[in-house]
Structure 1
Amino acid sequence: MKLLCLSNGHGEDAIAVRICQELQQLPTSPKIAALPIVGEGQAYIDRGIPMIAPTQKMPSGGFVYMDWRQLWRDVQGGLLELLWQQFQAVQAFAAQGGAIIAVGDIVPLFFAWLSGAPYVFVGTAKSEYYLRDEIKSFRSFKRRWEGWSGSVYLPWERWLMSQPRCKAVFPRDSLTAEVLRQWSIPAFDLGNPMMDDLESLTPESVSSPLGWRRDSLTVCLLPGSRTPEAYENWRQIIAAVGGILDGFRDRTVLFLSAIAPSVSLDLLQETLETQGWRSRSTQFSPVKLPIQDATALVFSQGKNQLILTQKAFNDCLQAADFAIAMAGTATEQFVGLGKPAITIPGKGPQFTYAFAEAQSRLLGPSILLVEKPSQVAQSLKYLLKNPDRLQLIAANGPRRMGKPGASHRIAECLVEKLENNS
């Protein structure tokens, strides 16, 4: 079987690659190719998965739906010509008897339908939690209006998912799968691949000579991966860090900064130094930190420590008690571990107030959305004084984001559905 992965974004590419890796481990592994509709598809390149058509990074970075003014810039940058070339490649692949896995939103789903090939859909962009809670009541009149058709997925999206050539749909959570089944859509509740491969590499027994202790307060800092937005997010996060240091003078605080490879550490370091953080000597063995990264940069301010790492994302998420987050996927993954995240609206183009508010609906009680950095410390104090809220968050995250292993379950299911209907 030949299988083409269609995806439209960095996060979607990563999810598709996780599923591809599981497909490659199956006894009846299909021959896999890819087409990232947005961006250059670095995740596919890193895994050696061939691409069937040209790719190009657009000026909007894929956030056209957040600012339609960006659309004209993309058109000027060759968007229409690129889409036409990609569409022709998809049709040629389908004509050779290939099947398609569409990952993301309506764009790859529409491409899959247009191809004429059998397809499956991994819906990463939408969730019924944006509109309603577990008891299925709409959150407000506004959300009821947004859900005018009965679902977060609009009628034309549901039509694409209910076509005979659509063999399976894999929504991101149980609530969404349950709602979609009302329209005879073959929706399977197998979990969210975003929660796969998040295991820590650092032994649980590790202690540190830098002042880090298991009874200290550990906070993960997530400024996002999109530049230059991440640098402005970082300045807001470090302002919030200053408030935490003032409000928790009686505790040792460790800040673990999970930084994307696309972000310059030099620019982040400049911000730290203006706020009184000083680089620590590298004489301390990195293996004794609560992360596995020999290249991590360590800073101190009094008894408190701050670590910058671009290689220990999982360790940061696993070791932290809380997060100050201005990110998309990373925030969801942190919450999925059963932990609370405090978010601050940014200037965008991604992490705007609208994005942060929507994310807070998606993730429910696990998110504390504040208006400005100075309010973060107070939110942290609130959480520490409310064990019932922390217990609720511990249960809420896995329920909304699913248990690990979704990529393997989806891979097995899609092969079965496509082979049985070939």
Structure 2
Amino acid sequence: MEILVISNGHGEDVIAVSIAEALRQFPEITKISALPLVGKGYAYEKANIPIIGTVKTMPSGGFNQDIKQMGRDLNDGLLTLTYHQYQIIKQWGKNGGKILAVGDILPLLFAWLSGGEFAFVGTAKSEYYLRDETGWLASTSLLERWLGSMYFPWERWLMNRSACCGVFVRDSLTAKILGEFSIPVYDLGNPMMDHFSVNPSLTFPPETEPLIILLLPGSRMPEAQNNWQLILQAVDSIKAVFSQRSLLFLAAITPSFNSIPFQEDLVDNSWQKEWINTYNLSIPDEQGILFSREQERLIISQQAYQTCLQLSHIGIAMAGTATEQFVGLGKPVISFPGNGPQFTQKFAQNQTRLLGCSVTLVDRPQEVGHTLTQLIKDPKKLKNIADNGQKRLGKPGAAQRIANCVVNECFN
């Protein structure tokens, strides 16, 4: 059996790679190839999964928000690229190969156009955007209710084609709703949590121990730099209400970023650079950079992302996937809107709907300190947040479960 994995975006590539690596363990699979529809597919290269066809990074980075960005992509050969990718996928289906589509409607549509059998992993959409277990959210419009699902009728039509052998969604609620439309849906969890150790309980440390706070400015520049400056205002608001307490901030910065501008912003805010080995904390990052200010310590880490998330008690986040993963660990997040282009007011509101009670959205960074004090005093809410994380993101091991199902049920 030969499988072509297609995906559209860096986050989708990472999830696709985790499933592809699990598929490699099956002797029935004789060949696995990949075709990233957006970007150059570095995640596939790193995992030694061969890429077929043409790949290219567009000026928008695949994050089209307006006509101007679309125009730049078109001028840079978007239509030609898309046609070449379609030809590759069509030929794969014609030769009897199977397709695993990961992402949204674009890979789903291409998989159907291949003419061959395919399975779909829906990473972007969740019914939690529109409803929870008790019913519709107040923010859900009459049109959205009439359409019946976060997945539009044309997406459901594609999932209902006979060539579609299985649909894997990110949570149980979404699986339940799609099942009502007779779609071959499986509820096997979210691969996003596969490399984490999930402990569905949360307790804050006693006041004699440092409170560890995660800082997530996002993964796109220059937006992440602007978000960082807002996050430092939130840090100041926390200092104001925890003036007598030891605080440790863990800043998980994307490895590809130059950390110097982030360090300069800290110095401008009265932080002093220290030797990293003067602080006793087991972060596996030899390049970690330690800063101090009175009772506070702050570590910039670009090589210990997973450890930073596991160690932290609460997150101050202006990110996408990283915020979801932290919530999946059963931990609370406080966020506030930035200036975009990604983490805007609308994005933050949508993320709050997706992740439920785990995210507290405030209007300004200056409100974070007071909000944090309220959270710590509310053990019932913390218990709900811990339970909610696993409900919304699922248990680790999803990639292996999906791979088993793809081989033994979908393409059997």
TM-score for both structures, normalised by structure 1: 0.93
1:412 aligned partner: 404
Q: What secondary structure sits across from 1:219 in the alignment?
A: strand
Q: Does 1:173 align with 2:171?
A: yes
Q: 2:339 is aligned with what amino acid?
A: K
| CA 315–141 in structure 1, closer or farther in 2 if over 3 Å, else same | closer
Deviation at 1:213, TM superposition (A): 9.5
2:22 alignment partner in structure 1: 22
Residue deviations 1:254-285, cap 9 Å, x none?
00111111222011101111001111024537
* Change in CA separation of 1:311 and 1:378 when aligned onto 2, cut-off 3 Å: same
Whether 2:274 is the aligned partner of 1:280: answer yes
Q: Tell me the distance in 2 between the aligned counterparts of 1:271 and 1:191.
A: 39
Q: Distance in 2 between matches of 1:306 and 1:282?
A: 10
Q: Does 1:321 align with 2:313?
A: yes
Closer, same or farther: CA 260–81 of 1 in aligned 2, 3 Å: same
1:371 to 345, 351, 363: 363
For residues 7-156 of structure 1, the aligned pairs below 5 Å read 7-64=7-64, 66-135=65-134, 137-140=135-138, 142-156=140-154
Deviation at 1:220, TM superposition (A): 0.4
Equivalent residue number for residue 381 of structure 1: 373
230, 238, 251: which one aligns with 1:257: 251
Quick one: distance in 1 between partners of 2:304 and 2:319? 17
> Which of 241, 247, 256 pairs up with 2:241?
247
List alignment gaps of at least 5 residues for structure 1.
201-211
Instruction: Look up the match of 1:5.
Output: 5
What CA distance in whole angstroms lies between the structure 2 residues aligned with 1:2 and 1:181?
Answer: 28
Counterpart Cα distance in 1 of 2:131 and 2:41: 34
Measure how far apart 1:214 and its partner are. Answer: 8.2
Question: Counterpart of 2:213?
Answer: 219
Q: Name the TM-score, length of structure 2 as normaliser.
A: 0.95
Partner secondary structure for residue 17 of structure 1: helix
Alignment pair present for 1:193 and 2:185 = no
Deviation at 1:294, TM superposition (A): 1.2
- Contact 2:101/2:121 (8 A) holds in 1: yes
SS of the equivalent of 1:183 reads coil
Deviation at 1:148, TM superposition (A): 2.1
Among 230, 241, 246, the alignment partner of 2:224 is 230
Paired with 2:101 and 2:238, the residues of 1 have a C-alpha distance of: 43
Which of 390, 395, 398 aligns to 2:387? It is: 395
How far has the Cα of 1:379 moved from its partner? Answer: 1.1
In structure 1, what is the equivalent of residue 344 of structure 2?
352
Query: Are the counterparts in 1 of residues 2 and 29 from structure 2 also a CA contact under 8 Å?
Result: no
Q: How far did residue 238 of structure 1 move?
A: 1.0
For the aligned residues, what is the CA RMSD?
Answer: 1.6
Cα distance change of structure 1 residues 282 and 133 upon mapping to structure 2, 3 Å threshold: closer
Residues 30 and 169 (structure 1), Cα distance of their counterparts in 2 relative to 1, 3 Å cut? farther
Partner secondary structure for residue 250 of structure 2:
strand
Distance 1:166 1:85, change over 3 A: same
**1: CA distance, partners of 2:101 / 2:227:** 31
In 2, Cα distance between the equivalents of 1:252 and 1:224? Answer: 26
Whether contact under 8 Å (2:102, 2:122) holds in the other structure is yes
Which residue pairs with 2:203 in the alignment? none
Corresponding residue of 2:328 = 336
- Show CA shifts across 1:176-224 (max 9, x none): 0000011110000000000111249xxxxxxxxxxx9983211000111
Q: CA deviation at 1:289?
A: 1.6
* Number of the residue aligned with 1:203: none
Matched residues in 1 for 2:42 and 2:378: separation? 42
Contact 2:207 2:245 survives alignment (8 Å): no
Distance 1:419 1:167 in 2: 7
- Deviation of 1:251 after TM superposition, in Å, equals 0.8
Q: Which amino acid aligns with 1:106?
A: I
- Runs of 4+, deviation exceeding 6 Å: none
Query: Partners in 1 of 2:410 and 2:168 — Cα distance?
Result: 14
- Paired residue total: 405
| Range with bigger deviation, 145-154 or 378-387 | 145-154
Preserved CA contact (<8 Å) 2:244 2:295: no
1:351 Cα deviation (Å)? 0.9
Distance 1:69 1:375 in 2: 35
Given that 1:230 and 1:263 are in contact with CA atoms closer than 8 Å, whether structure 2 keeps it comes out as no
Query: Equivalent residue of 2:131, what SS?
Result: coil
Distance 1:348 1:31 in 2: 41
Tell me how far 1:149 sits from its aligned partner: 1.4
* 1:199–1:314 CA contact under 8 A, matched in 2: no
- CA shift for structure 1 position 145: 2.4
Q: Answer yes or no: is the 8 Å Cα contact 1:173–1:401 preserved in 2.
A: yes
Q: 1:372 to 1:54 in 2, by over 3 A?
A: same
Describe the superposition over 1:313-349 as per-residue Cα deviations: whole angstroms up to 9, x where unpaired: 1111110010000000000000000000111111111
Tell me the percent identity. Answer: 51
- The amino acid of 1:15's aligned partner reads I
* Shift, 1:397, TM fit: 0.6
Q: Could you tell me how far apart the structure 2 residues matched to 1:28 and 1:250 are?
A: 61
